[in-house]
Structure 1
């Protein structure tokens, strides 16, 4: 039986984002990239059982964390235990990771330029600090898409008003690493609806002028 072409599935889970003593109700996008036999999960948010159900029996190759805010990693250890897949994180986000999982480290490191192979396609790791020190995006040119976590959204950059974040750095990351991608690249974000590189690029001067 054919495994079928690689595709992207979205699961939306709900929970809380907690940092600097605050707590906010959020909905997160969990992106599943693969075919009918194997997949990777980008951001195991809130509900390991729901993510495992969405995998529908596919072999999970990796749990990739775009950054280590709790709402993007809170279900990662449980999903790893359920599936045997390794949890991957950029090491610059270990201080954030340890706020949520002090007794369980990630299984492997993400590095700029690293490649994750799944279902005949490649996800290339782009280190895009600013929202968090170890924030990464995953570029899948074969699918015409980039998974941006909380670095770039429909309407602007991710928040930089809390610990471990820095507005000039996120602007540099977006300008140098994301807006250089083809304009028709679909931006699949950590929260909310997708956009495209071409739709967001013209607003860069406005973002800089507003600052954070």
Structure 2
């Protein structure tokens, strides 16, 4: 399983800040570059457009795909979209957050639940998973056995829900009914921190619920 994943999924860690509700927090973000030697998707264009562009190289960028619109996940989306002539894709329920960072620049296309995006021989199925934010989306590549979860699911639990436009009950429902129905050996590529597997996280759902948010 790791062979196809390694050849199709590139990874850049970028550093910057996350800003919301008057707070500013230092963060390291995972930026995922998915496709082949000819064309790719960039998932969550965070902090460092130069480093992301270097990782892309001379490949065609099919789209800049945003799992959600917190500023640390979209602050380089317009720069990379302009550089590569690529559209920005975002669930429309995220516009309240997008507009905080980019009031004068709109995404180019909408992400919808069940939509399939294809680049470089990789199909990504959009899974709408609200909770961390109103229109959070995950991207599932069944042939690779990988899901890109943004800030919905991490190693050790769900994404944060203590800030504006988030809901603990909603994120738990999204994880329970959507992510935990994926095969247990599905690799989880997260928006921050280490990767995990669906099967490693599923047994802890009730514990997360008890601990609340």
Q: How high is the TM-score relative to the length of structure 2?
A: 0.97
Name the CA distance, whole Å, in 1 between partners of 2:57 and 2:145.
24
Residue of structure 2 equivalent to 1:137: 138
Residue of structure 2 equivalent to 1:120: 121
Residue of structure 2 equivalent to 1:197: 198
2:8–2:35 CA contact under 8 A, matched in 1: yes
Shift of 1:115: 0.7
Name the CA distance, whole Å, in 1 between partners of 2:20 and 2:202.
29
| Poorly superposed stretches of 4+, deviation over 3 Å | none
2:14–2:46 CA contact under 8 A, matched in 1: yes
Residue of structure 1 equivalent to 2:98: 97
Residue of structure 1 equivalent to 2:69: 68
Shift of 1:56: 1.2
1:41-70, Cα deviation, whole Å (9 max, x unpaired): 000001111111100110000000000000
Residue of structure 1 equivalent to 2:16: 15
Q: Specify every segment of 5 or more residues in structure 1 that has no aligned partner in the other structure, as ranges.
A: none
Q: Is residue 43 of structure 2 the alignment partner of residue 42 of structure 1?
A: yes
Q: Specify every segment of 5 or more residues in structure 2 that has no aligned partner in the other structure, as ranges.
A: none
- What SS does the corresponding residue of 1:201 show, helix, strand or coil? helix
CA RMSD in angstroms, aligned pairs only: 1.1
Name the CA distance, whole Å, in 1 between partners of 2:8 and 2:121.
11
